[in-house]
A and B are shown apart, each in its own frame.
Chain A
Amino acid sequence: MFGKLTWQAIPWDQPIPLVAGAVVVLIVLAILAWVVLKGYLPYLWREWITSVDHKRIGVMYTLLGAVMLLRGFIDAIMMRSQQAVAFRAAGYLPPEHYDQIFSAHGTIMILFAAMPIVIGLMNFAVPLQLGVRDVAFPTLNSTSFWLTATGALLVNLSLVIGEFARTGWLPYPPLSEAAYTPGVGVDYYLWALLISGVGTLMTGINFVTTILKIRAPGMSYLRMTIFCWTALASNLLIVAAFPILTATLGMLALDRYLGFHFFTNEAGGNMMMFINLIWAWGHPEVYILVLPAFGIFSEVISTFSGKPLFNYRSMVAATMFICIVSCLVWLHHFFTMGAGADVNTFFGISTSIIAVGTGVKIYNWLFTMYGGRIRFTTPMLWSMGFLVTFVIGGMTGVLLAVPPADFLLHNSLFLVAHFHNVIIGGVLFAAFAGITYWFPKAFGFKLDEGWGKAAFWLSLLGFYVVFMPLYVAGLLGMTRRLQHYEVAAWRPWVLIAGIGIIIMMCAAACQVAQFVVSIRRREELRDETGDPWDGRSLEWATASPPPPFNFAVLPNVRGEEPYWDIKRRAIETQQLSPKPHYEPIEMPRNSPTGFITAFFCTMTGFALIWHIWWMVALGLVAAYAVFVWFAWRDVTEYVIPAEEVARFDRARRQARERWLAQHAGQPA
């Protein structure tokens, strides 16, 4: 009846996951109870869970990413503390637990923390910057989000029921085959990624379509913001790479479930094929994350330098150059597999060529600051921290792209330090910059600058104290994923990294404090104008938070910085643009399709993991039925009457009038 699922699946004998799991379950239950008792459930269902509004979905993506970031960070604390005590000792985490922690840390951080935050910020900002009302396929967008949430849920379920993968964040066969890892951990990994991967692919299709086909009048390609360009590049990569991930993990699932031999030792299987395929996804994945991050920094640096982005066209060229070349470098993840000198040379050189595109970007940001009037707000601090940190991470990356150097440093802590250097310094700093930058747009009040700056400085310091010692440990030959070790020379560096993680914990506490304090002081921090940072692109042209339809009238774009031009005209002529003619607006209706589909997909995934075949069939049929039901709907849109649009816009124009009066006589 319940397949492999018995009471033994709960780790009664392992206090750490048991207690952690119990605490998480209690917190979730407490939140649910609070929501139900306070009567918020109908509001949540109507306004958030079934919402197809790209802004709401963006906020939910970001929130999911932030929660998973905390979960992944707790894993990081456990790993650092285990290594700090496991010198010639067993430490407090046995291998079968420690191996799950580093596997979960990587999987969660990349796929359920960084990806949702990046996709969330794209969801929120791209349609606004393009000057449109929503993405191309709003209900699909909601489905994408809920499928990602399914993946995150399955990964976290493994904490309490069964176990997570013990094979690293990329489960290399033959270790991940049923013969060597018979547990349910790899199955949790496979179905979490297969289901959320479908969601991500749909996001990719959705955003490529949106950016290519739906833009405000006059918004030609070369008038889009760099963030939209990087979002386009990133989503093109999603469309190109995620099918490879799905196919690869599908083949591994066939091996494990039905006795196929794609990657086994026996019967002609070839594990090297898995490693090639997974990195043919894995390397573009790095750029799927980091390209939008570059976009965020471009927006932030330009805004707070009070200048347009330097060499805009060169920046577009560099973005698309990186987008293409990133698909030609995957083999640098396994130079030591013995492919031979010619192959290694090709991939070594192609990898270092990416540094040309990145270098160009760095210099363009540098010259954007040159001649600027830089305001060091929290988002700008994150950007400055990024520029310095990322240059170092890029340098160690090119170092690892030199095959003979990689022969010494592959899989060492030097490698670990390198990719944390670029992912924390690039993607995570961008996430924090983007969240503080767009938060006032989403909620109508700014985040507290004091706590934000404290979080920045502690994160920066903590990052260097954790990862610079790991570079040294890697040069001393320390390999990654060690549950315990015997070499005395490594110890001091591991201990310093342990101190660093304490600083990072303080930084995380400041981040949480930033949100709590800001929400409590929201009336003081409120922004009435819709343009708290003196922005340059279209998202600042509407109110904060924007109405469901974003813009009362779609803006007419005449240059690269449409909102900056509008503001300059207003100040020069001392009046706002003439009052437009308002028309009724059609918006897509909310739909529970995404949530219900994801519910049944969760059911299917869980049933597949535990071999509960009747539940697999039930889940699949039900998920399909939801799609059919959605496809047969009669009414797809609702109409917002012109008077309501006009009422909204009157309020916005009044706020802008006040702003204009304050700026009377000032040069633009």
Chain B
Amino acid sequence: MRAALAESFMQLPDSTSSGVTRLLQRSPLPCRMSAALIAFLLVSGCSGGVLDAQGPIGAADAKILLNALGIMLVIVVPTIIAILAFGWWFRAANTRARYQPDFVYSGGIELVVWGIPILVILFLGGVIWIGSHELDPFKPITSADKPTEVQVVSLDWKWLFIYPDQGVGSVNELVVPAGVPVHFSLTSASVMNMFFVPQLGSMIATMNGMVTQLHLAADKPGEFYGQSAQFSGDGFSGMNFTLRAVPQDAFAQWVATARQTGSALDRTSYLALCQQSSNVRPFTYRAVDATLFNAVVTQQLPPCPGPDVGRAGATVRPRLER
């Protein structure tokens, strides 16, 4: 059964990444209905979000989102129409409506009202089962290319990206080659955050003392907005970054430039970076201590500190330094 479900599921149309118009032409009604809704949203200025996916993971996530929406709209729309229609027709003032005060049970209706939701949830359960396994953030993307390795450390309140193979690093700017899978290993220096580039797909938590994995890819070169999707304190709103997907050679060039500029990130300078700050302008490190990420994860480097409580009143109402 699972294979059959998988097959039918895989046959559902490949939707958003390549455009809604195609979907509107050759897909089952529910998908068409949801696509029409989405098309409306896109027309009204809905580009740049999770439905405007620019990579395979985001596209697959969005496809499941739209399929699930379509499946549910099939029952939700008639239900809403029925609610309004029954309410209107059976209004007390309508003398043509037949009053049936004894219509309180019907085995047939009972069968239908339990049956239809159960069938829908069975179908949706299949989508959930397959989707969760296919799109588990820890699952690598099948590709002929070797994935780019990036280690991510969320700090208060900025993002540190380490390229272990290239030996460079950057803050609040993530440059990756387009068309090649990227393998992220993520941790947090202090509190929990959530790494999220809406147009590339799945988000994942970053937590101190733990490593999570995420696999993403960008189809084409472009600049994508990235952020934390988990509130992490006063500087949270200023904790954004730009993900730049660039052609292969441009990436090599960026690495070469990075190697010649900026300072080196070792354990001492990490402790300076650790201090709370937000709205940090992007910059790069020409070299990064190869053991740094591990040292953060295994807490050889202690968790980064919180606000300075040395000041008067800070244990009552600490304030952000500006």
Contact = CB atoms under 8 A, between A and B. Distances in A.
Contacts, number: 323
A666 interface: no
A336 B48 contact: no
A371 B98 contact: yes
Interface stretch (B171-179, B195-203, B259-267): B195-203
A293 B128 CA distance: 29
A175 interface: yes
B318 A182 contact: yes
Contacts of A260: none
A494 to B, nearest CB: 13
Contacts of A168: 231
Interface residues of B, number: 111
A163 interface: yes
B39 interface: no
A309 B101 CA distance: 10
Interface in B33-60: 41, 44-51, 58, 60
A408 B50 contact: yes
Given A337-B205, A489-B47, A408 B191 contact: no
B306 interface: yes
Nearest to B313: A8
A163 B316 CA distance: 7
A180 B320 contact: no
A8 B105 contact: no
A492 B121 CA distance: 35
A180 B90 contact: no
A480 to B, nearest CB: 7
Nearest to B224: A477
A495 B217 CA distance: 33
A266 B303 contact: yes
Interface stretch (B21-29, B76-84, B286-294): B76-84
A391 B79 contact: yes
Nearest to B38: A475
A271 B207 contact: yes
Most chain B CB inside 10 Å of its own CB: which residue of A172, A408, A475: A408
A153 interface: no
Interface in B284-322: 299, 302-303, 305-307, 309, 312-320
B109 interface: yes
B303 A404 contact: no
B303 A183 contact: no
Contacts of B132: 341-342, 344-345, 348, 403-404
A222 B132 CA distance: 41
B114 A314 contact: yes
9 contacts: A307-B101, A308-B101, A338-B138, A338-B213, A352-B125, A360-B113, A374-B91, A407-B61, A410-B194
Interface of A: 4, 6, 8-9, 11, 94-96, 99, 162-163, 166-168, 172, 174-175, 179-185, 265-266, 271-272, 305-312, 314, 334, 336-338, 340-342, 344-345, 348-349, 352-353, 355-356, 359-360, 362-364, 366-367, 369-376, 384, 387-388, 391-392, 395, 398-399, 401-405, 407-412, 472, 475-477, 479-487, 489, 492
Closest 9 CB pairs of A and B: A477-B198, A371-B100, A476-B49, A359-B117, A407-B202, A363-B113, A180-B306, A405-B65, A341-B136
Interface of B: 41, 44-51, 58, 60-62, 64-65, 68-69, 72-73, 75-76, 79-80, 82-84, 86-87, 90-92, 97-101, 103-106, 109-110, 112-114, 116-118, 121, 124-125, 127-129, 131-139, 156, 190-192, 194, 196, 198-199, 201-205, 207-209, 212-213, 225, 227-238, 240, 299, 302-303, 305-307, 309, 312-320
